[in-house]
Amino acid sequence: MGEVTRSACRIRGFEHGEFDFQLLRTMGISSYGGATVGECLAATLTIEEPDPESWVVSWEQLADNTLRVARECFDRGHHVSARDQLMRASNYYRTAEYYAPIASPKQRDLGLAAREVFGQALPLLPLEAEVIEIPFETPLCGYFIQPAGDPAPRKTIVTFSGYDGTSEELYFMNGLAGVERGYNVLLFDGPGQTGLRRLHPDTAFRHDYEVPIRAVIDWTLARPEVDADRLALYGISFGGHLCARAACFEKRIKALVANSPIVDWATYLGSWTKPEEGEDEDIRVAEVPEVPDDILPPHEKWALLSLCKKYGAETYFEALEKLNAYRVEEHLGAIDVPCLAMIGEGEGEEALRQADLFCDRVSGDVSKRLFTVAEGADAHCQQNNVALACQVLYDWLDELFA
């Protein structure tokens, strides 16, 4: 008897670790409507790893096709179907944007498409959503979402991502889950972050993130829907470091959630890579595209340029030097509000060490949640189990703010 086959689709990821994680990242938010498993697996079939160009082509094609269906649905009066397609198209454009040439017109176009399509979906959501601009040196962008029809002050969570996330992506990561539980959710992109760099390409990260966070909290507390006594700050990925830094100085925050709690960014990043021959030689940003691919492969050029551009550095060594400012250990004792530290056991020894250090040094009550392989949630930011991460996050806040 021949083998029974129920599908031509096979669950297949990538051998290249970062490609595989980015696939998991895109597919992981399917829990909240940001993707479908089948569409993501289909996109992988035409990607040659680790070739960034083939990644961009495949995901952009999927995004275009999904957007086309969304418009057809809308024109025929199927607004729920249109909304769902628009949300997925936005995430697929973001996925294509990720590996597009750094600071190129192509990358910017894809990023703006992700933002525009997401905005088109907002009026179709069963909640209230605003596109916002927060006054700052360079105005910060984002979204304020809340349950429909209830103007009373309520629990509020201010949330932002890290090195390469966006406020649109955060809607799927924790925004919708918060509104479902009765929270106001402020999603924003700060200096250096992808969402803001789409609009203002010259913005760069800064180590004193308490300064932009102060402006965000000012804006948030000016809204009548916000209960100032139930205000949480949530930072994801590199945002786990930036939110910890901010909480050391910004005392209007009533709860802090760091996912993951990164104390020393330079050491954390260094734990991902192994020193290689030739790393004692500096290189200027302008020289990177001229290096032959057999010496510096395209995906490594992409990573180097991304690092330099986001930290406002002209050379690789200058970027590494800037990373050394992102250390917060000496200030952690100033954090005296309740804290939740979220960390996956698959994130590596250094990430786990820094999570423990964070828990030991803060002054406020701290809860640590270690997500495991057995739970299917061990990945960085629980990208492989977003629903569980949201359950842990909001159950903790619900009990704290009860």
Residues with catalytic annotation?
A: 237
C-beta of residue 177 within 8 angstroms of C-beta of residue 392: no
- Angle subtended by helix axes 52-75 and 105-121, to nearest 10: 30
Q: How far apart are CA 185 and CA 263, in angstroms?
A: 25
In angstroms and rounded to an integer, the radius of gyration of the C-alpha atoms of the chain is 21
Q: How far apart are CA 381 and CA 378, in angstroms?
A: 8
Beta bridge partners of 373: none
- State which amino acid sits at residue 116: E
